[in-house]
Structure 1
Amino acid sequence: MEQIDILKELINRGDVDKAIEQLNQLLQDISVEPKKDALYYLLGNAYRKKGDWKQALDNYQHAIDLNPESPAVQARKMAIDILNFYHKDMYNQ
């Protein structure tokens, strides 16, 4: 199983703190450069699952900056739609 699949599984089963720790370590590794956008996307997913919307949006944006075709584009839009519906005051934190 590829490392990204393992990280997705950690997030899916709710072990987000462990996934965040491993993703942050991976992002420090220069050899992951071609996959960095996917790592930031997963990091955004982990933070979203944890309820940390600001970190989720920031990481989705990092992924989009690296790859404008990233699935983070849709995830970020969805997160903003959710925040607009639930938390109009969260943007200024």
Structure 2
Amino acid sequence: MVISFASVFLNILRFFFCYQRDEKKPCQICGNNANDDFIMTCFKCRVTREHIYCAKVLFKAVPDVWLCEECRASRGVIFINHDEASASNQQSDSESAK
């Protein structure tokens, strides 16, 4: 198998071009691309971008791996907010103790 320099170079150019385009896309919730350090890009589709403070599931920091709502639905993945889950469990425990 022979790999030409030209094909390697073209693949590198495509990668950097796509990466640069990805950086410029705005948040799909608010439409703003300000605060780019707080924008998550979907790990699967690489299209959806949301600020951590605009997403339905709020994050304190940009996670290493994040799936947009559409990709989560296609894979059957859900996120559980552990703070809400523990508060709900504490409430149900106190009600069952009565």
Using the size of structure 2 for normalisation, the TM-score is 0.23
**Structure number, greater radius of gyration:** 2
Say which structure, 1 or 2, has more relative contact order (CA 8 Å, 6+ apart).
1
Q: Which has the higher strand share?
A: 2
Q: Which has the higher helix share?
A: 1
